[in-house]
Amino acid sequence: MAPINRVQRVGAQAIVGTFLTVATSIAEVEASVSTARERFWKRAIKFWVDIHTLPKTNPLHRIVSRVRKSYRTARSPFHQVACRLKDVPLHELESIQPFTLKPWEKRVQAFNYENAPKQHVEWDIRIAVSSSARNGVVGVGGAVRGTPFIDGDATSE
């Protein structure tokens, strides 16, 4: 941890522009930088929660259940995290179920109508939806567009 603290001190001093004799904790507070220990524990907690949201078929699920057993000699950092977070209600977390589309299953087809007569114009609605998750934030977006639907030769895109 000492090499990381040295890097943290130099970085905090560079941000604030303090002298070399300033204590690391003072430079971190002035630079609004969280300590290395805090950042490591945030990552460990995020990892612990993420690993408990995996489905039961995932191989890591079996490993997590073995970590909870007490080994008196040579406890791993993962076991230390498990001991510290044993009071977190993990049974209330939702499991992430992966959903994939098999290659032989039918997919949604898009059609492009070309050479259609102008007199058979009707209305069609196109809807596009997308979602993503990054850094603990889930984003969802959608677009709805009303376009004229033309009865003619359809070609899939």
pLDDT tens digits, one per residue of 75-114: 777 777 878 887 878 777 777 666 677 777 777 776 666 6
The domain total for the chain is 2
Say which residue the tokens 């408990």 belong to: 52
**Which residues are CB-neighbours of 60 under 8 A, at least 6 positions away?**
51, 54
Distance CA 113, CA 121 (A): 11
> Does the residue 103 lie in any domain?
no
Structural domain contains residue 6? yes
Record the pTM. 0.48
User: What does the pLDDT read at residue 122?
Assistant: 60
Same domain? For 45 and 88 the reply is: yes
User: Looking at the structure, do residues 14 and 61 belong to the same domain, yes or no?
Assistant: yes
92, 125, 146: which is the final residue of a domain?
92
Q: What is the pLDDT of residue 71?
A: 62
Residues 67, 136 within the same domain: no
Considering the domain architecture, whether residues 124 and 86 belong to the same structural domain is answered as: no
Q: Determine the structural domain holding residue 139 and report its residue range.
A: 111-156
Both 12 and 88 in one domain: the answer is yes
30 phi/psi in degrees, rounded to 5: -65, -35
Residues 124/147, Cβ–Cβ less than 8 Å: yes
Residue segments in the chain with a per-residue pLDDT below the cut of 70: 65, 67-72, 74, 96-99, 110-124, 147-157
> Domain ends where: 92, 121, 137?
92
Q: Tell me, yes or no, whether 14 and 52 share the same domain.
A: yes
pLDDT at 117: 61
Q: For residues 34 and 81, state if they share a domain.
A: yes
With CA atoms as reference, report the closest residue to 33 among 8, 64, 2. 8
What per-residue confidence (pLDDT) applies to 149? Answer: 54
